[in-house]
Amino acid sequence: MKYSEFFIPTIKDIPSDAEIISHKLMIKAGMIKQSSAGIYSWLPLGYKVLKNIEKIIREEQDKAGANEMLMPTIQSSDLWVKSGRYDDYGKEMLRIKDRSGREMLYGPTNEELITDIFQSYVTSYKELPKNLYHIQWKFRDEVRPRFGVMRGREFLMKDNYSFDLNEDSAKISYNNMFKAYIKTFLRMGLTPISLRAETGPIGGNLSHEFQILANTGESTLYYDKELESLDPESLDPDKLQSYYAAVDEQHNASKCPIKKEDLKISKGIEVGHIFYFGTKYSEKLNAFVQDQYGKRTPVHMGSYGIGVSRLVGALIEANHDEKGIKWPKSVAPFKLSVVNLMPEDQNCNTIAEDYYSNFMTLNFDTLFDDRDCSIGKKLSDNDLIGTPLQIVIGKRDISQGVVEIKDRLLNTTEKIKIDDVKKVVLNKLNS
Ligand code: ATP
Ligand code: MG
């Protein structure tokens, strides 16, 4: 993509209601635009990141055996009345009447709808287990929408729902998702900390929250230091769940089961939440199957959420400096920038065009900064939008036969011979 043809409305003046760094940087970098309180348009740069995050989540869900589908955003109130949550949900639910006066709502979550879909088709234990998910916009009329996309009213969530014959089998499904979650966050370059959680209004008896570490996070986490160095290739959910991890309110220094030198204290942001809630919805919404003995039995369910749009903010909270965003490679909107500081110079142009077409041909999403603007603006914009690798082409360097390569994550620069650049950058992109 040529920068001159791309819509990145970077701005200098940040609105005063942007309190936290990710919100400020997303607005500054032209990633989002507020449309009304807690509701945002995703501009091209922000949308690219949202899609990259979605892709990682989708791949890990598919690998874990979940089936992707898509349920509507607008639901009828009927199923919610049956489950008893129509009144319970209170003001957080956006209620709408259609032209015939029927009560509709913008889904804040999908337990009711999915349970109804499931019970319409599945009648035998032989068809279990099943695990269905979708990535869909939700609406919750939060009391205080704030922190940009971190607590929006309209937000994108990946939510899935597992259906099993009994509790033992449901716990296997639960652990399978637990593992998929850890893998998902590790792939995004984040450090996930899982904690036993309260089940809240969704109900049930087993639940974990997934937080990621970020100095600017809202929660204070106390956890076993082992959790900071997980190997994605060998994740044992039972073992992971046995490590000590607690939030502020749960932690009691005198009762802490692990040694002081093994205890870490850091700030975290909640990005995912999983629940096993047994037969709570299946009983109310008639999701029964015949078991091995021909007996009708309610299915055991779990639900699993990841805040897809919140993750964009959380990733920035975890990866930024005073110049702007530092995207981990796996989610970066562009893997590479080719920054031509001297577009009016024929030589610089030829070299820049050559690198750009080379990396585009190799399928690396590359941003070619061909703009006619000051050198300072070019450098600061590319740092602000956080491209992890940058090839910076300047007239003086070229006359000395070199080009500068900047690693935004490590904050290092090196001069590389013009002819070696493709090889060196390719190695870095693949590492
Ligand atoms: P919170 O305690 O932050 O309100 P929750 O318990 O209501 O979260 P869940 O219903 O478990 O959240 O939703 C699953 C995930 O969706 C959360 O872990 C979070 O990442 C995300 N999420 C929830 N509410 C919002 C929101 N208002 N804006 C953005 N993401 C959200
Ligand atoms: Mg909530």
Sequence-ordered strand ranges (E) for 123-215: 130-139, 154-164, 192-196, 206-213
The mean pLDDT values, 10 residues at a time, for the chain of 431 residues are: 96 87 97 97 98 98 98 98 95 98 98 98 98 98 95 98 98 98 98 86 79 93 96 93 93 92 97 95 97 97 98 98 97 98 95 98 97 96 97 96 97 97 97 89
pLDDT recorded at residue 25 = 97
Ligand in nearest proximity to the CA of 308: 1
Distance from Cα 217 to the centre of ligand 2, integer Å: 16
The domain limits of the chain are 3-321, 336-430
Distance from Cα 307 to the centre of ligand 1, integer Å: 6
By most ligand atoms within 8 Å of CB, the mutation choice from 198, 207, 310 for ligand 1 is 310
pLDDT recorded at residue 286 = 97
By most ligand atoms within 8 Å of CB, the mutation choice from 270, 276, 303 for ligand 1 is 270
pLDDT recorded at residue 127 = 98
Indicate which atom in ligand 1 lies nearest the CA of residue 152: 28
CATH of domain 3-321: 3.30.930.10
Indicate which atom in ligand 1 lies nearest the CA of residue 145: 27
Ligand 1, CB cutoff 6 Å, lining residues = 109, 140, 142, 151-152, 155, 157, 270-273, 305, 307, 309-310
Nearest CA to ligand 1 atom 25: 151
pLDDT recorded at residue 201 = 60
Place of tokens 């930024």: 320
Cβ–Cβ contacts within 10 Å for residue 336, how many? 27
pLDDT recorded at residue 153 = 98
Distance from Cα 170 to the centre of ligand 1, integer Å: 23
- φ and ψ at 200, to 5 degrees? 60, -155
Q: Check the CA dihedral 174-176-179-185 and report its sign.
A: negative
Q: Check the CA dihedral 233-238-242-247 and report its sign.
A: positive
280-321: per-residue pLDDT in tens? 999 999 999 999 999 999 999 999 999 999 999 999 999 999
pLDDT recorded at residue 216 = 87
pLDDT recorded at residue 53 = 98
Nearest CA to ligand 1 atom 23: 307
**What is the rounded CA–CA span in Å between residue 384 and residue 405?**
17
pLDDT recorded at residue 12 = 87
Residues written for the chain: 431
pLDDT recorded at residue 161 = 98
- φ and ψ at 258, to 5 degrees? -115, 160
pLDDT recorded at residue 17 = 84
By most ligand atoms within 8 Å of CB, the mutation choice from 112, 273, 312 for ligand 1 is 273
Q: With contact defined as beta carbons under 8 Å apart, do 233 and 181 qualify?
A: no
CATH architecture of 336-430: 3-Layer(aba) Sandwich (3.40)
